[in-house]
Structure 1
Amino acid sequence: MTEMQSSDPTFPNGKGEAETPAPPGQILTGKQEHYLKRELIARQVRDEISELNSPTALQRFGAPFRSEFGEVAPVDSELPILRYIFVHHVRNFPFLDKAREKEFWQDKLQVFLESFANKHVSSSEDRLEETKRRKLARKCEKLVELMMVSGVPTASGYEERIQFSEMEVVERGAQDSGLLVNIPEGNAINGWDVNVAAVRTTSVKRTVRYHSHAEFIIRVSRNGKDEHHVGRRYGEFVKLQKRLSTEMPGKHLPPLPRKNKTSSTSWWGSTADDDASSLSSLSTQDTSAIDDRLSVPSSSKSLRRSTSKSSMRSTRSPRASTSDVSRETVLYREEQRLSLRAFLRTVLQNKRIAESKAMEEFLTARPVKLNEEELVDVQRRKDMDAVRIEEQKRFYEIARQRAAELDVYMERFRRDIVESNGLTKLFAEIREKPSIPDLSPQYQKFAEWLRIEVAATLYHLFLAEDNSPELFAQAKRIHGLVPYTLMKNVIRIANPAAVMSGVLDLFMAQPFGSRSLLQRIFSLTLNEGIKDFQRSIDTLAAKVEDTILTQKLKSFAEAEEEVKNEIRAEAVADDVDIIVAILRSELISPELTPEQIGKVFNGYVAWNHAVENVDIEMQQGAQWFAHMKQLLKLYTRQRDKAMMLSIVEEPVTLQLFRDLFTIFYEPLVRVYKSANVYSSITDFAQFADDAIGVIESAQRQDTSADPNQTVQAFIDLCARHEANFYKFIHEVHQHDNGLFQKLMAWIEEILDFLRNGPAGGKMDINALFQGAAGAGQINKDLALTEINQLIKWQEDRKRWHLNKTRQKMAAEGTSGDAIPGVTTFKGSDFGLDEADLEDLTISDEASDASDEDSMDEDKDDPIAVERRRRIKKQDQLRRTAGEPAKPEVTEILKLADPFNIMLRHVLAD
């Protein structure tokens, strides 16, 4: 043992220390033990989730599902991990615990899932895109892996993860979070450093009269080049959005802010001359409104009006000067400036948009040179940005300090929640105590802390950001449109359970055994989709001009899954496109003539050449092959629609839908009716009215106002309405018929598994390894080498992710926390190791790197689509450049069978 340990390589644990040696009597160290367990669990989870695609998976699952092979004991289940999660955390969910084994689980859900699996709906590879099912399966795989790795402990008790002391990102204080995105300059996004720096007026002659318009001056710097300025009217922002939609159809674009002519008022400690200069940006605003706000004498008013009229003949606003102007300065169209800046910086976050021709022309075409008064306006607004950022910092600092004063109480509250049945105790207190003052002291302090957090969030949403004015205007409009009184009376009088029961009967009734109304609606929609696909197919088939080739593609889309898998394997083995593999395959009739095979290969060569090189000469052959690829996708989607139609028309689908609706809806309706929820609608309306008043008051305050007053105003807002909010929660819990108590018990059961593991015991990884090595099932030295390689890979991967995260944060000027306050809970409080959570984050970022907004690629040029797909793949490779490659392991995989046997016994309680 001693010789073996001394010969083993040691790896740094992230702190410059040697790895902890194996405990006496054991072969594996705590770190080796953990990462061997993790690798075997990860592979088992992946296999089990993949196995769910099999139509017979549930028959090998075990109770409550039926099996043709007889009763499947827990220790014999081929899906032990999923079976454990289902039995302990799905089947006993408070809504589903009343579902009957035969009537619901076997006769409806199992029949439906097996029917769906038998339809073999297309995969991501078939459709050349990420399907939602693939993304969901990937997320579920990582979450189940995290749950099992954290929840199933090892018997030795020495299990150890990789820890990095430098993993803690340098703290800058919560008040710095999210503020740097509002700085006037130095915030490059995908190569563009832009700021809507000022607002001027332009005059355009229409027939006889001149019409003035606001023009937004955009300061632009790109890739370190000299900056320049461009002038853009609001209508040009509208044209930009339309052009981006045309260039990138299907790309999700943020909404353009509504036109907003509101100006902002500020106080400046400057001279009268400076104040006069600051009015240059206001010269075409409604002069009477400006004069009222600035209190200009009547003589000055008449002078200003005549000057304003004469300015209509110039393209730039003239200098307005008066010695009687106060220190109050009105910044013309300031809120619109901020919202347009937020819009620009949001769309530039997308790399494709930032590199688009429309964006480049918008930010570079027709540069302008600023005159003296416009430069003064730029500086005024830059100073206003600085004051705004400083005010936000002071607000967050004050809010953070107030929240920090509650740290002692919050730590006690955290311990209460983390301890056994903490959540159950919390909600029991809420159910028993009718008001906040009646709560226990630690819960009262939690309510106080929550009050500060909600106040800070409201401030952040509606005041602190560039797009806050737009968001506030939208919220205000929606609030004004909602008929709260009518809603309250309708809900108060109507019986939702009876209404929904009648609606269900209307849509699901099957008179004389015919199809229900709901089935007819689904069928009509799906049939329409099938017809749309057929029209597109007919158009493309006419361009291909070969019925034998198109028929062969259709035959592949409708072939058995085994045939499809064999052809896919041939395409991968020969490194050819799936179209080539299909058309040359003898598994699908009819066979092609040598001339047709030659045409297919020539088209494939032209396709690859045209994608890699924009070559007009080979465009025709490439387009022909592109039509073939589109045809395969359309045939596949058409078949999917047909399969979904057949599922909808099956009687069990309708019955399952009714049962699920009844299971989840009826208990909530009982709670909602007995708790008099309708009275809370009025409470919410009053809160919205009050919040609008507080936000508008804060907007009117000048920049010299005490941030303490702003903080207190938002905290007082929450304090005025927290009693009504608590009353709503109390009423719901008081009349829940034990529903929420069951829900808390369900959550506590999950937390108990994460903290203490399954009741079946722990996994003795050392005994497993030692037994396999002693029996000659594995080569001990080779297996240890592979485990150490996995550990080294995890260390390198964490270090790579850390450096990448720091670089990204440095580039974006952001820190970790979004809102002020204190971090109350950690993953370890709930049995989740922080290192395991970090690994999940790395895996999620790696899998999400390739996700982009969906595009309507069927309407795009196929060659351009393929070119974009390959560029996207290259972008993903660049994003993951330097990421350590996972080592190939073979020896430790020989432990999979004995490991799974041990895992079944641990989980079979």
Structure 2
Amino acid sequence: MTAGNDTSVLTQSQEHYVKKYLLSVLIKNELNRLQRDPYDTLPNLGGPFDLKDEHANSTTPFLRYLFESIVVPFPFLTGNKGELWPKLQLFLEELAKIDSGHGVEREEMARRRRLKNKGERSIVLMYTMAIKTVEQREQEKRDMSLEDGLDNLTLSADGAASAAAAPTTGPLTVIHGVRINVAGIRVIKQRRHVREHEHAEFLVSSTLADGTKSTVARRHGQFRRLYIALREEYPQYEFPLPPAKVSAKSGSASVKAAREKDRVSLRGYLHNVAKVAPEIVTSSTFVSFLTKDAITLTAEEAKDVHIRMALDEHRMEQQAQFAREVAKKVQELDSHLKQVKQDLLRPGGVSRLFDAFRQYENVNDLPPLYQTVFEWGCMNFASTLHHVFTASDDATLNLTHLKRTHILMPYRTMWGILKVSNPMAMMKGIIDLFLAQPFGRSSLMQRIISVNIQEEITEYKKDIVQLEAAIGDQKLCDKIHNYVYAPKDVVISIFPNSEPYDITELGMVLDILQAAQIQPLLDAQQINRVRDAKEQLEKDLTEKERLIKAHQDMLIHDLSESDESESEILSSDEPPKLYRSSSKKSFAKATEKLRSLKQQKQEQQAQQQQQPHQPQQPEKNLIRLLQQLLVTHLRIRDKERMMGLVFQGVTGEIFKELISIFYEPLVKVYKSANVADSLMDVKDFADELIKIVEQADANDDGKGGNPSTATLYLNLVKKHLPSFYKFVHSVHKQDDGLFHDLLEWFESILSFMRTGFAHTRINYKTGEELRYAIDLNGFLKAHVGAGGPGNIEQLREEAESLKRFYLEVKDKKREEVRQMAGLDRASANNGQSDEAATALALKNDRERMLKELRGFGLQQEDVDELEMINFENHAGLGGDDDEGLEGEAALKVPKVPVIDTLKGPFVELLQPLFYSARE
């Protein structure tokens, strides 16, 4: 196996993955060191933590380079007198004290891993983009020379593909292979004593992964009971709250579409529940909600469904119309947008853009190049507003949040404060307004932050009351509560391991109850009661898994050979995962057999219940109830803990310090730019936006004669564009260098990723921009080739194994995105069209990313890295990686002993880059 020429040790692709591996391992080690011992590691970051330069030979050179070349030069921090950094160290110390280690929910642990992994991968991506081999820099020049030939691939095709992509909300949405729609509403009349009462039932239609279609009628309260049941069954997940009923005056104006907002909101709620995890859509509770007591629609109900379908189609057409208009505008402005992008990617491009904002007072006076960009931006912003507040199933909830926050904001009071001529009095007034606690009551800032989470805390407290009643043993409940609020040293004595642990594991509950350090002490009977419940539940879970596997084997067998003899097996409450088959008769036979077996088991259970003197079954639900009680107490404690951290002690000092840091440079700009009037412009925009949303809802009946929602939103954005640009112009016009420094700082980040240097360097002989490059081929020859041909061959094998590994990880991520979109188990009726549309959208996203970033100096491997992070942001992936593992299915990083020996020399190879940060 040879490289591109006889003198190369590895191919260019292999070199890239060897470089990526070394960077990943070294950066991960530095982050772990910072996490384990932040106080001893902070001086190695340099800057204000190492004023005497005592740690020039840093143990964290990669983090030190980023800190000294990007973080410390941030314009707002350069003028700081050094008071922030000591307070930041104190804040980290206080944070460590508050995190008392009572355990973490599984979902929270996954969230922390996601955050850590994304941060690590982002840093690695920055370095892989910045540090290129000599061969890669040569390839960049060739790619840039071909750039003009690639520009014939216009953005119009991307816009059209986006418009045709599968919807992310609405009746056609497929989530984990299941399609759910609240298709209609029927009114049921019931006579109570004397008067006759009416109530609405929502018609929920669904298509499961096996193609089974059902329609059921559910009242609004049953959605809440579903929420409670799922929380009890899956305490490790946090489910969204069901939406409250929409008042009649806020509902649809169409008489024929009564409670339309409730219908759409509940559909969005079911979609959000299904998105929590793949196992939710196959759980017995969720499937029972979708399929139990199925109904056949009457003529009147079918008519209502038809009306609602027309409304859904109307909303989707409005959204598609927006997408088509944006795509058309992009096509018209393609040449201008291309010029803007090319100019921004050149050195000083961002500065030139903002210089135009400083020079031209009116948006209509801007050069045509920038005017078209604003026009395109208006259409995109209007389309986003339409989706968030009208087209989305969560539109009603989003509007409620907007109204709530809008009402709480004291615009007029803030306007009066901002009009104060004394800048320091202005800031004091703002701080007092938000942080003052009159008569010991909560401050306005606390109220604004807590108003949206107070409802959740109230729900948790209600759950605790219900759980304690179901458990029926106050001593058990008190022990759980006392553990959650126990001191840190007590918790450490129970769980000595300092690493975070999953508190939702069943064994943890028993360990807590048995701990002698927590009061009250329990007797043997209470402990045995919990232990028996745990053992019985574990047996049931094992048996359930066995039955599901047996059902899958039986169905596959029947689908392949329909004439084989039947095997007897009991059913479980969990629906089996069915597989597609071209034989409809075999599939029908297998399904009928499954239903027959379920009916037989239900009859057997009914007979057993009727037999007297049956021994009492262990309380297998007790351990689940205790687990849910523990998790609920932890959630309340976490919210209380964070609120206390935000508004007490050193956090408040840091908050004030940050205000001072950001305020002092901006105070003159604020005063000259007339921010007070701009604040009232924001209020006016919010007022009109709420009216537009309500008007769009009133017009949302699919009939003609009314202005389209597209027109309403677009006119709103265009109306307020001059006010927005006036503020932008005023801010930049009064700038005394602050924004110029900010732009230079931002361009330094772009320069680092493009060239390897934080500041642009020019070869004055040729006039070309200097780009950092390493001779990785010579490096490998010097450190591996000296060991003989055997070492070289082993290096090639290890490099190839790394290449295969990273490609497998990328394929895994792509497959996970497909599964999140439901493409792996979509039903036969709609799966192919959904798969084609979503696959096309993903393909176009990737091609667009490559085209957009090619001019930035990125190569195919860099785009692959960006694609990986984009996959995780799109599907919420990457959070289940364990140490030493990548992606799902536990793909192990291959052993590469020869490459591992290069870690130290590789850092030495990069020393010229690290020292450039101090020049």
Task: Specify the alignment match of 2:43 in structure 1.
Answer: 59
Q: Give the direction of change, closer, same or farther, for the CA distance of 1:133–1:661 in structure 2 (3 Å limit).
A: farther
**What amino acid sits opposite 1:154 in the alignment?**
T
The aligned residue for residue 773 of structure 2 is 762
- 1:461 to partner: Cα distance: 2.6
SS at match of 1:182: coil
- Could you say which residue in structure 2 is the equivalent of 1:139? 118
Q: Once the two structures are superposed, what CA deviation does each residue of 1:347-392 show, in whole Å capped at 9, x if it has no partner?
A: 2323455455554454344443332233333334334434443444
> Quick one: distance in 1 between partners of 2:421 and 2:392?
42
User: Is the 8 Å Cα contact of residues 24 and 124 (structure 2) preserved in structure 1?
Assistant: yes
Q: How far apart are 1:784 and its partner, in Å?
A: 1.6
Residue 786 of structure 2 is matched in structure 1 by: 775
- The corresponding residue for 1:890 is 897
Q: Which amino acid aligns with 2:128?
A: V
The residue aligned with 1:672 is 670
Residue 77 in structure 1 maps to residue 77 in structure 2:
no
Preserved contact between residue 202 and residue 213 of structure 1 (Cα < 8 Å) = yes
CA distance in structure 1 between the aligned counterparts of 2:228 and 2:477, rounded to whole angstroms: 33
Q: Does 1:452 align with 2:394?
A: no
The answer for the alignment partner of 1:880 in structure 2 is 888
CA contact (8 A) 2:886 2:893 kept: no
Partner of 2:580: none
> What letter is aligned with 1:454?
F
Deviations 1:557-581 (A, max 9, x none): 269x9x957xx99x9xxxxx99999
Q: Secondary structure at the match of 1:92?
A: coil
CA contact (8 A) 1:610 1:619 kept: no
Q: After the TM superposition, which residues 123-272 of structure 1 pair with which residues of structure 2 at under 5 Å, given as runs?
A: 130=108, 135-157=114-136, 173-177=161-165, 179=167, 181-183=169-171, 187-190=173-176, 192-224=178-210, 227-241=213-227, 244=230, 251-253=239-241, 255-256=243-244, 258-260=246-248
Alignment match, 1:839: 865
- Residue 769 of structure 1: SS of its match in structure 2? helix
Specify whether residues 784 and 466 from structure 1 end up closer, same or farther in structure 2 by C-alpha distance, changes over 3 A only. Answer: same
1:211-253: per-residue Cα shift (whole Å, max 9, x none)?
Answer: 3333333334444465443333334445544555566665333
Residue 403 (structure 1) aligns with = 330
Q: Unaligned regions of 5+ residues in structure 2, if any?
A: 144-149, 437-441, 447-460, 462-467, 469-473, 502-506, 518-526, 543-614, 759-770
User: Does structure 1 conserve the Cα–Cα contact (< 8 Å) formed by 2:813 and 2:887?
Assistant: no
Taking the TM superposition and a 5 Å limit, the aligned residue runs for 1:671-710 are 671-692=669-690, 694-696=692-694, 698=696, 699-700=698-699, 703=702, 705=704
Report if aligned partners of 1:694, 1:714 keep a CA contact under 8 Å in 2.
yes
For residues 122 and 757 of structure 1, do their structure 2 counterparts lie closer, same or farther at Cα, with a shift above 3 Å needed?
Answer: farther
Aligned pairs for 1:212-361 (under 5 A) are: 212-224=198-210, 227-241=213-227, 244=230, 251-253=239-241, 255-256=243-244, 258-260=246-248, 330-351=256-277, 353-355=280-282, 359-361=286-288
CA, structure 1 residues 644+564, in 2 after alignment: closer, same or farther (shift >3 Å)?
farther
Match of 1:276 in 2: none
Shift in alpha-carbon separation, 1:578–1:29, aligned structure 2, 3 A: farther
The amino acid of 1:775's aligned partner reads A
Q: 1:890 to 1:338 in 2, by over 3 A?
A: same
2:44 and 2:380 mapped to 1: Cα distance?
49
Aligned-partner residue type, residue 740 of structure 1: F
**Does structure 1 residue 792 correspond to structure 2 residue 791?**
no
* C-alpha contact 1:399 1:711 (8 A) present in aligned 2: no
Q: Which residue of 1 aligns with 2:738?
A: 739
* Residues 480/122 of structure 1: CA separation in 2 closer, same or farther (3 Å cut): closer
Once the two structures are TM-superposed, the CA of residue 401 in structure 1 deviates from its matched residue by 1.1
The answer as to whether partners of 1:579 and 1:629 remain within 8 angstroms in 2 is no
Do the aligned partners of residues 123 and 415 (structure 1) sit closer, same or farther apart at CA in structure 2, a change above 3 Å counting? Answer: farther
Distance (whole Å) between structure 1 residues aligned to residue 376 and residue 651 of structure 2: 48
Q: Distance in 2 between matches of 1:372 and 1:634?
A: 49
Aligned partners of 1:22 and 1:29 also within 8 Å: yes
Q: Is the 8 A contact 1:254 1:346 kept in 2?
A: no
In structure 1, how many angstroms separate the alpha carbons of the residues matched to 2:133 and 2:854?
17
Between 236-245 and 439-448, report the one with greater CA deviation: 236-245
Deviations 1:645-670 (A, max 9, x none): 999999x8776555344213433444
Separation (CA, whole Å) in 1 of partners of 2:630 and 2:263: 48
Alignment of 1:458-497 (within 5 A): 458-468=385-395, 471-472=398-399, 475=402, 484-493=411-420, 497=424
Partner of 1:91: 72
Counterpart CA distance in 2 for 1:556 and 1:245 is 26
TM-score normalised per structure 2 = 0.67
Distance in 1 between the 2:629 and 2:318 partners?
56
Measure how far apart 1:742 and its partner are. 1.1
1:385 is aligned to: 312
Compute the displacement of 1:633 (Å): 14
Q: Secondary structure at the match of 1:199?
A: strand
Shift of 1:448: 1.4
Q: Are the aligned partners of 1:216 and 1:232 in contact in 2 as well (CA < 8 Å)?
A: yes
Q: State the alpha-carbon separation in 1 of the partners of residues 324 and 641 from structure 2.
A: 59
TM-score, length of structure 1 as denominator length: 0.68
The one-letter amino acid of 2:386's match is Y
Distance in 1, matches of 2:365 and 2:215, equals 61
Q: Which amino acid aligns with 2:888?
A: T
Contact residue 226 and residue 285 of structure 2 kept, 8 A: yes
Alpha-carbon offset, residue 677 of structure 1 = 1.1
CA contact (8 A) 2:813 2:868 kept: yes
Instruction: Give the whole-Å Cα distance in 2 for the aligned partners of 1:333 and 1:722.
Output: 35
Instruction: Tell me the distance in 1 between the aligned counterparts of 2:432 and 2:314.
Output: 61
CA contact (8 A) 2:240 2:273 kept: no
CA contact (8 A) 2:533 2:621 kept: yes
The 10-residue stretch of structure 1 (40-49 or 137-146) with the greater mean CA deviation from structure 2: 137-146
Shift of 1:754: 0.9
Alpha-carbon spacing, 1:774–1:349, altered in 2? closer, same or farther (3 Å): closer
Alignment-derived partner of residue 553 in structure 2: none
The structural deviation recorded for 1:265 is: 8.0
Give the letter for the 2:674 counterpart: N
CA RMSD, aligned part only?
5.9
Aligned residue type for 2:348: N
Q: Distance in 1 between matches of 2:369 and 2:810?
A: 38
Per the TM alignment, residue 556 of structure 1 is displaced from its structure 2 partner at its CA by: 8.0
Larger Rg: 1
CA–CA separation in structure 1 for the residues paired with 2:509 and 2:196: 63
Q: Give CA-to-partner distance per residue, 1:612-667, whole Å, 9 cap, x none.
A: 556999989999999999999999x99999999999999x8776555344213433
Query: Does 2:442 correspond to 1:416?
Result: no
Quick one: which of 483, 486, 492 aligns to 1:557?
A: 492
Aligned residue pairs: how many? 754
* Whole-angstrom CA distance in 1 between matches of 2:124 and 2:626: 42
What do residues 3-39 of structure 1 show as CA deviations (whole Å, max 9, x unaligned)? xx45xxxxxxxxxxxxxx3345332221122111111
Quickly say closer, same or farther: Cα 1:730–1:254, change in 2 above 3 A.
Answer: farther
SS in 2 for 1:157: helix
Structure 2 distance, partners of 1:65, 1:412, is 43
Q: Secondary structure at the match of 2:309?
A: helix
Q: Secondary structure at the match of 1:908?
A: helix
Q: Distance in 1 between matches of 2:661 and 2:902?
A: 43
Q: Secondary structure in 1 aligned to 2:868?
A: helix
Contact 1:604–1:622 (CA<8 Å) still a contact in 2?
no
Q: Which amino acid aligns with 2:17?
A: Y
Report deviation, 1:151: 0.9
Q: Which one-letter code corresponds to 1:208 in the other structure?
A: V
* 1:768-817: CA deviation from partner (whole Å, max 9, x where unpaired): 11111243399222122101111122223333433443454435846486
